[in-house]
Amino acid sequence: MNFIGSIQVVLFFVFYLVIFALAAWALVDCLTRPAAAFTSAGKRTRTFWIWVLVAATVVSFLSIPIPGVYLGFPSFLALLAAAAAIVYLVDVRPAVAPYSRRRGGGRGPQRGGW
């Protein structure tokens, strides 16, 4: 393998590792949120998001390329896993955060001010 090929292998490994970390972070965050916060925020249920993120985490883990080993798993599915994690982190997480006990004491959205 030439030098450029070695760099590509390392970059692909890092890329898929970042996708796995993103999916795992989204899953852990979802597991720490109360179920009532999801319905209060008008989002899909916590159970729905847990299953989506579990699938995303498993797919992204299986997609990590091990240098010299080909498992036959279609690694492009990791992009779908990344999309699911990003949707959760960018859309659902900020909507659920005000209803979480960690922020705002579970009293609903806080309206700033003095």
Three-class secondary structure of residue 69 per DSSP:
strand
Both tokens assigned to 99: 């209803």
Which residues lie below 8 Å from residue 97, measured CB to CB, with a gap of 6+?
103
Task: Give me the tens of pLDDT residue by residue for the chain, a chain 114 residues long.
Answer: 687 778 888 898 899 999 999 999 999 999 999 999 999 999 999 999 999 999 999 999 988 887 667 767 788 899 999 999 999 999 999 999 998 875 444 455 556 555
First to last CA, the chain: 63
Half-sphere exposure of 93 (CA within 13 A, CB side): 16
pTM over cut 0.85 = no
In sequence order, what are the beta bridge partners of 92? none
CA–CA dist 48, 98 (Å, integer)? 20
In this structure, what is the dihedral angle of CA atoms 80, 19, 53, 55, given to the nearest 10 degrees? Answer: 60
**Using alpha carbons only, what angle is made at residue 36 by residues 30 and 41, rounded to the nearest 5 degrees?**
80
